[in-house]
Amino acid sequence: MRLTTLLLTLLLTLPAFASDYAREQRWADEVIPAALVGDPVWLQQENGHKFLGLYTEAPQAKAAILIVHGRGVHPDWNLIGTLRQRLPEMGYTTLSLQMPVLAAEAVNKDYPPTFPEAASRIAEGVAFLQAHGYKKVILDSHSLGCSMVERYLELNPQAPVLTWMAIGAPGTLGSGRLKFPILDLTGENDLPDVLEARARRTKTKGAFTQITAPGTNHFFDGHEQDLLDYERAFLERTL
């Protein structure tokens, strides 16, 4: 009876947690024809699955920025698209990666089983940028993508990371153990779980620069230029 219950639980649970590669492909089919800035690149993870990245080189780049989106979207989505296209204008090469996605109805609590796969994709992205001559990489993540970056850093404590810009983070951002500078940027009208997490991080020792952007929501709707200005100022101070 216990074995039957266990098998039933697994059958009910595993499909919700499995990365939806077909959905990724649908995103790619939509994104690639519409991506007028940058070049699509295909990276391969350990299980042989190929995933999309959008690579945009900046002339005489100061550094490279690896961009990690949040739950269930794609590497050219809304503010992610703004960052990947506009940061090169400021002198930073960008690589925006497709992170694992689940079915459209999945919520944040369904995603942690995908974090190891997300971490491996970030590692592949870092390796890609290093192969293109960038010795150290800047991480830039939004929403649940911040938790994916955090898992990558847990699994790769010697990662060649110069700094991390975390937008609307729902987690701990390393709980103070990370030694490089971190921009902890939230909107004044951000999601409740993000605001609660930010309040907890305020009590954590670490190299945090905490900024609350006035009048903005979780997605910086209508405040995209403000987002770019915050990141530019942080990078200029940090680098």
Mean pLDDT for 144-163 is: 97
157 burial type by CB count under 10 A (0-12 exposed, 13-18 middle, 19+ buried): exposed
How far is CA 138 from each of CA 31, 76, 84, 122, 238, rounded to the nearest angstrom? Answer: 24, 18, 13, 12, 11
- pTM for this one? 0.92
Report yes or no: 168 and 185 within 8 Å, Cβ to Cβ.
Answer: yes
Whether 15 shows a pLDDT value over 50: the answer reads no
**What's the total number of domains in the chain?**
1
105-147 confidence digits (pLDDT tens): 999 999 999 999 999 999 999 999 999 999 999 999 999 999 9
pLDDT digits (tens, 9 = 90+) for 69-82: 999 999 999 999 99
Give 51-72 pLDDT, tens digit per residue. Answer: 999 999 999 999 999 999 999 9
CB 126 within 8 A of CB 137: yes
Check which CATH number belongs to the domain holding 119 and give it.
3.40.50.1820
pLDDT at 207: 79
Identity of residue 59 = P
Rounded Cα distance between 186 and 1, Å, is 49
Q: How confident is the model at residue 208 (pLDDT cuts 50, 70, 90)?
A: confident
The full length of the chain comes to: 239
Selected residue with higher pLDDT from 38 and 179:
38
What's the confidence (pLDDT) of residue 153? 97
Q: What is the mean pLDDT of residues 93-103?
A: 97
- Classified as helix, coil or strand, 104 is coil
pLDDT at 8 over 50: no
Average pLDDT over residues 146-158: 96
Task: Provide the domain limits for residue 190.
Answer: 2-238
At 172 the pLDDT is 93
**What integer best gives the mean pLDDT of the chain?**
92
Distance from C-alpha of 150 to C-alpha of 171, rounded to nearest angstrom = 8
pLDDT-above-70 percentage for the chain: 93
Place of tokens 């405040």: 223
Q: Which single residue is written with the structure tokens 């905490």?
A: 210
